[in-house]
Amino acid sequence: MVATMTTDNIPHVDVEIPELSQIAFVVEDIDDGMDRFGSILGIGPWDVYRFEPPTLTDRTYRGESHEYSMVLALTQLGETMIELIEPLEGESIYTEHLDEHGEGLHHVACFAFDDPHAVVEEFEDADLPVIQSGNYGGTEYWYFDTADELNGAIFETAANVDAMPEPDRTYPE
């Protein structure tokens, strides 16, 4: 039996989302994903990044220090960033998604908060803990345990997004 959320058991987070900055999908192969999104939806070009040490630091997964890496591709569709993520090494919320659901919608994100660290505290105070986090070249990011409450979608926020390093490549080149 599936538990139904009622207004009595929906967590309250004292945060107002000013915009939806990003929609992200987990894929098994980043190049194939970019080809499909480009051919079917006509979006691109993509900036491609390898999130791995030494640029990727301070990684956590399910509350513990943990090693994982991924390659991701970013493109803008109007005001919204589209992200594709291919997990590389280590267990992560991306490998969980592929194992449990296959490829598909993974998370939504807002990067427009004045104080993202306060947002992290608000989610944790509402019993929606950080399930994965890290720092990529000075950009801190946090994913929250919202999948049950948001119909399968995880919520992410980040700080210092402008610190993202240059992409490793652009696709198509």
Look at residue 8 and tell me whether its pLDDT is greater than 80. no
Q: Which domain holds residue 99?
A: 22-171
CA dihedral 26, 133, 61, 145 (to 10 degrees): -70
Q: What is the pLDDT of residue 54?
A: 95
Work out how many domains the chain is built from and give that number.
1
In a domain, 101, yes or no: yes
Residue percentage of the chain with pLDDT more than 70 = 95
User: What average pLDDT does the segment 18-42 reach?
Assistant: 97
CB 83 within 8 Å of CB 76: no
Q: Which has more pLDDT, 128 or 6?
A: 128
In a domain, 1, yes or no: no
In a domain, 15, yes or no: no
User: What average pLDDT does the segment 20-44 reach?
Assistant: 97
Look at residue 149 and tell me whether its pLDDT is greater than 70. yes
In a domain, 77, yes or no: yes
In a domain, 26, yes or no: yes
User: What average pLDDT does the segment 42-48 reach?
Assistant: 97
Q: Which of 123, 104, 168, 115 is nearest to 140 (CA)?
A: 115
In a domain, 16, yes or no: no
Band the pLDDT of 1: cuts 50, 70, 90: very low
Q: What is the pLDDT of residue 9?
A: 80
Q: Amino acid letter at 139?
A: T
Read off the CATH number of the domain in which 81 is found: 3.10.180.10
In a domain, 17, yes or no: no
In a domain, 3, yes or no: no
Look at residue 5 and tell me whether its pLDDT is greater than 70. no
Give whole-number Cα distances, 5 to 20, 58, 123, in Å: 23, 34, 18
pLDDT digits (tens, 9 = 90+) for 57-83: 999 999 999 999 999 999 999 999 999
Give whole-number Cα distances, 17 to 13, 50, 70, 86, 152, in Å: 10, 28, 27, 27, 18
Band the pLDDT of 3: cuts 50, 70, 90: low
